[in-house]
Every structure is written in structure tokens, then in C-alpha cells.
Chain A
Amino acid sequence: MTDQELIAPELPEQKDPAISGLETGWYKVANSEAIASKQAIQINDFPTQIVVWRGEDSVLRGLDLYCKHMGASLACGEVDENSIRCPFHAWRWAGDGQCDQIPYAKKIPTKAVTRSWEVSEDDGMVYVWFDKDQKPADPDGKKFN
């Protein structure tokens, strides 16, 4: 690492997925075995950075990586039941993008919603659906490895 990289690093940002130019379809992001039960991983090789985790029910879910509250990486958080809990303020996010628990709040703000990504598993591989216009996933859509 050069001195310049050390003292003037580029800071992360949640990338705008719409500018990726990728065509609609399922994109392979990991092997199934890379995500054990109640584990979360960060995916960078996708139009934006996302967190994908396996809930208690073994189902995979995906959200934008950075928490909509104060910006921490949800991949550093913990899977709780079928949701993921942010390491910074413990806000808990469900797979549909809704914040479903804030331990220290009386009421969850209506704006506490993040972007959800549809995840599927097939033949030992994990795919995430991408469509630049955010159309719902087509189970028979084209797969990209």
C-alpha cells in the first residue's frame, strides 16, 4: 500500500445499480456453501454492494449493504431469526427491506426502509435478480455465471 492510499483512501458509497448497464437476469454471486446457516456475506461483484444472509429457516435474503440509518455495513452484523441486525445501532432489517425492530425506540420510523434484492439458490449456487427498472424477479429468467 502506498502512503497516498494509506492517508487518502477512497471512501465507500452505496453504488447506484441503475448505471451498471447490466441486462436483466439472475447473477451468480456466491456458492451456496459459502453462506452457512445464520451467516451473512458481503457481495461486491454486483451492480451495487449487497449483504446476503441465510436465516434460521435456511432461506437466503439480500439487502443493500449499508444501513439506511447511519451507514454501517450490515454484513458486519448478526443474523437474528430471519432478519439481519446492524452492528452500529442494532436496527434489525427483514428480507423485504422493512426495519422490523429498533431496541431503543418506541416506534419504527415509516421511512426506515431499505432496498431488498431477490435471492435464489440453484444447484449449489446463489443468484441475485437484477433488473434496472426494478421489475419483479422471473423464476425462469436468464442466468449469468
Chain B
Amino acid sequence: MNDLPDRFPRGWFVLGHQRDFPVGETKTIFGFNSKISILRNEDSSVLVDVGGDTSWPVLELNQMVMVWHDTEKQSPDFTPDKIEECYSDDWSDYGMASFLVKNNCRELIDNMADKGHFGPVHQAPFEGFWNEAKDHTYTQEMTADSPILGRDLFSQARYEGPAYMTTYMSAVHDGAKVESRLLVSHIPLTLTSFVINFGVMVKKVPGMSSEDEAAFIQGYVDANNFAFGQDVAIWENKIYIPDPVVCDGDGPLHKLRKWYGQFLVNRADIPSGLDLEKREF
């Protein structure tokens, strides 16, 4: 038997970029086993209807429209941090891309602690690798050297809840430092499929034309698309090992999965001791 979760996790889920929901238009997508309609009213507020239910809390933050999924139907426990770069003229807007993955959305989370896959899957062996868990956040810091995403790579990736992850990344491309912000979000369609919506924004390079900038962002979106493609090839041809045998070089996978588990149970059933002090693995 596949040991699938009995629900979708509790948290904020990105429905899409703000610009994709213009005033007066209704967009329909599929998620949480339901048809979801998203309407932008004349007063620019957003109404979200999930299978006839309009009570899901909605948030517009960091250029994204999000909904709060909660089996217990309570108020959101947290709000993701504001990212100043999302409101700065020194940075581009997010370029977005999305694709379907045929697996349970928990597969996406393992990457946070999975330092061992960067070499074989992404040809990017890490140099340093840190993890930290605190309340609803889980943070990974990494230094690496990647032929795809850049040399002298530093990244700090943080989940706020189970489905909203943002990354600050800096790398050297063609001798120049490039700073970027990634978004990795997803919407579960069913318990065995989800759509990843990811975004890339870059710090503008002074003197660069808007055409060159757009091409540059697209190049970065493509590179990230490629890296995700490498993960998806694995995800769509694997089984879930609930209690893996890990080796001394693996990250804190069991700890990470316990942290993620808090979003799959009622609040009253959340165990204590889920935090992890920042340390190197």
C-alpha cells in the first residue's frame, strides 16, 4: 500500500502571479481536488472560490496571490515575510514557469535536507550545507559550484509553511556577480499530483537594456527549469521510502520530514521538539 497522507498540508499556497489576475476577470484552475475560481474585483480585492467554498483566506504578498488551506478551517497561523526585493525598482519582477509532477507534493520537501543529491542529479556537489528549523520555517543554506546555475554559488532557501519557499541566491556568471531570488511554490491537484509554480527575479545590472534584462531573466528561468527537470525525472520514477536508511553524509532527512508532518495533522496533534538549531551537515 502506498502510505499517502490523508490530506493536503495546512499552509499558504500560491495561486499565481498578481499580474495574471487582472481586474474584472475570473481565472479557473484545478487544485485541492476542486475547481478553483479566482476573481479580481473592481476594488482590486481578490475573491477565491474553491469548489463552491469562498471562506478560504486570501493574501496578496510578494507579487503572489495565495490561499490558506486548512482542513480545520481556522485562521492562518502565520504570514510569510515581506520580501523587499519584490517591491524594489532595482530588481526585475518574477519570471514564472510551471509544470506538473505526478507524485505527492511531499516529494518536493526532501530536497531541503537532501545534500547528497546535488552532485549526482544536478552536477553541483555542495561545499557547505546548513539546515535550521524554527516553528513554521525550515531553512537551508548552501555553497556550491554549479555548471548550470553558476560558480561560487551561495543560496539561502526558506520554506514558510509546507508550500511557499523563497531563495536568495548569488553566483558568478561570466565573471559577474548575479543576485537572484527564486520562488518555489506548488498547488496539489490530487494526492498524487501537483503543479510547481516557480519564479525567478534578478537584481538589475546597471546599464543593461530592458531587452537584455528580459533575455537574461529568461535564461535564468530556463536554467532553473532544466534543474527541476533533473529532479522530476527522479520523482516520477520512484517509490516513497517512509523510513529511509541514511548514511553519515546525508542531511537531517528524518528531522525535516517530522517538521513537515506538523502541517499534515490537526494543530492539537502537533508533537513538540520539531525545531532544529542551525548547524552544518
Given contacts A70-B238, A105-B248, A106-B249, 5 further A-B contacts (CB under 8 A): A7-B100, A7-B190, A13-B2, A70-B117, A111-B245
B241 close to A71 (CB less than 8 A): yes
Q: Which residues of B contact A10 (CB under 8 A)?
A: 2, 192
Q: How far is the CA of A111 from the CA of B245 in the complex (A)?
A: 7
Q: Is B268 among interface residues, defined by CB-CB distance under 8 A?
A: no
A87 close to B234 (CB less than 8 A): yes
Q: Which residues of A contact B104 (CB under 8 A)?
A: 11
Residue of A nearest to B121 (CB): A88
Q: Which residues of A contact B52 (CB under 8 A)?
A: none
Please, could you name 8 A-B residue pairs with CB atoms under 8 Å apart, sorted by A?
A8-B190, A9-B102, A66-B241, A67-B238, A69-B244, A72-B238, A76-B237, A89-B114
Residues of B within 8 A of A (CB): 1-2, 4, 30, 100, 102-104, 110, 114-117, 119-121, 189-193, 233-234, 237-241, 244-250
A107 close to B248 (CB less than 8 A): yes
B119 close to A104 (CB less than 8 A): yes
Which residues of A (87-145) have their CB < 8 Å from a CB of B? 87-90, 102-109, 111-112
Q: Is A19 among interface residues, defined by CB-CB distance under 8 A?
A: no
Residue of B nearest to A85 (CB): B120
Q: How far is the CB of A86 from chain B (nearest CB, A)?
A: 8
Q: Which residues of A contact B114 (CB under 8 A)?
A: 70, 89
Given that A88-B121, A89-B117 are known contacts, is A102 also in contact with B247, CB under 8 Å in the complex?
yes
Q: How far is the CB of B71 from chain A (nearest CB, A)?
A: 19
Q: Which residues of A contact B237 (CB under 8 A)?
A: 12, 72-73, 76
Residues of A within 8 A of B (CB): 6-14, 66-73, 76, 86-90, 102-109, 111-112
Q: Which residues of A contact B190 (CB under 8 A)?
A: 7-8
Given that A8-B190, A13-B1 are known contacts, is A112 also in contact with B245, CB under 8 Å in the complex?
yes
Given that A10-B192, A11-B103, A89-B116 are known contacts, is A109 also in contact with B245, CB under 8 Å in the complex?
yes
B249 close to A9 (CB less than 8 A): no
B244 close to A70 (CB less than 8 A): yes
Q: Which residues of B contact A102 (CB under 8 A)?
A: 247, 249
Q: How far is the CA of A133 from the CA of B245 in the complex (A)?
A: 25
Q: How far is the CB of B146 from chain A (nearest CB, A)?
A: 16
B239 close to A7 (CB less than 8 A): no
Q: How far is the CA of A88 from the CA of B30 in the complex (A)?
A: 30
A89 close to B120 (CB less than 8 A): yes
Q: Which residues of B contact A67 (CB under 8 A)?
A: 238
For A88, give its contact among B103, B115, B120 (CB under 8 Å). Answer: B120
Residue picked from A6, A14, A67, A72, most chain B C-beta under 10 Å: A72
For B247, give its contact among A6, A8, A88, A108 (CB under 8 Å). Answer: A108
For B239, give its contact among A13, A87, A109 (CB under 8 Å). Answer: A13
Q: How far is the CA of A111 from the CA of B191 in the complex (A)?
A: 30
Residue of A nearest to B104 (CB): A11
Given that A12-B239, A13-B1, A72-B234 are known contacts, is A7 also in contact with B245, CB under 8 Å in the complex?
no
Q: How far is the CA of A112 from the CA of B116 in the complex (A)?
A: 16
